[in-house]
A and B are shown apart, each in its own frame.
Chain A
Amino acid sequence: MFNESIGKRSTPVKNIVERGAVKKFALSIGDPHPIFIDEEIGRQSRYGTNIAPPTFPRVFDFGTIESLHLPNKGLIHGEQIYRYNRPMKVGEEITCYTEVKDYYEKKGKQGEMGFLAFKNYGTDANGEIVFTAEQLVIINETIRRMVMSK
């Protein structure tokens, strides 16, 4: 069912590393370090501006993948990897898209589980990759049946 989605990509979406969103995010993870939120500290830093925490891409819109319909409940987040070429700067525009890398099934304690692997990309104004993020989503048997029967 998810096999057909392997290799599919979303249409890229432009996102801004918005100052207010970075501040709200940093506070929500209990990390109000001045490098993220103090304008003056940001200006004086090697980055010339504030930067975003490494898990901030959680906020971005990566676009939707055509014909991939995931349930909004019952999914388990198994693994998450971020790779950065440099930190993201507050105010810059990041173009984001996602790709289905893999789908496989394995028998586990709770029946047949589905494993869906995504890779997210974030590129800057020059088209250079700033970060990639890989995500493994686990779909349990009940949810898998539900999706299949639709």
Chain B
Amino acid sequence: MTTLTELHIGDSLHSIELAPVTRLDLIKYAGASGDFNPIHTIDEEAKNAGLPGIIAHGMWTMGNLAKLFSNLYEIGFIEEYKIRFKGMVFLNDVITLQADLKEKTGNRYFFNVAATNQSGKEAISGEVIFKTY
């Protein structure tokens, strides 16, 4: 477990590399979230929409990224989670999740967060404000 108070500006939380994205991942997320937009699960619908293949829900990637902070809920919580959706995530992409501490003010820790693919391209990026109790 990362000790938040020991982090210095510029330090990162433990990054996570996800297993290659599978169709089942996206079917599960569709079921759990209620977002059944077929471009995330059905090849033909994705092609009809002008995509090379099915793409992950942006919210699936955003949901995954938040787990960098799950170990810290005993000492605080995510007060603000702001994401810009930048690039698509395709099947078999290997996504890496990252959070870098950029600032600390009182009991608020400001992180830059991002999920990048195997080519280093950002799928999503944004900021997390983690507030300790």
Contacts and interface: CB of A to CB of B under 8 A. Distances in A.
A59 B32 contact: yes
A interface: dominant SS: mixed
Nearest to B32: A28
Interface residues of A, number: 34
B37 to A, nearest CB: 7
B37 A87 contact: no
Interface string A86-97: 110000000000
Contacts, number: 107
B83 A81 contact: yes
A109 B31 CA distance: 34
Given A31-B67, A51-B73, A83 B37 contact: no
A72 B81 CA distance: 26
B64 interface: yes
A28 B28 contact: yes
Contact of A80 (B34, B39, B58, B133): B58
Contact of A78 (B78, B82, B85): B85
Interface string B38-50: 1100000100010
Interface in B42-81: 45, 49, 58-60, 62-64, 66-67, 70-71, 73-74, 77-81
Interface of A: 21, 24-25, 27-31, 33, 35-36, 45-47, 51, 53-55, 58-59, 72-74, 76-84, 86-87
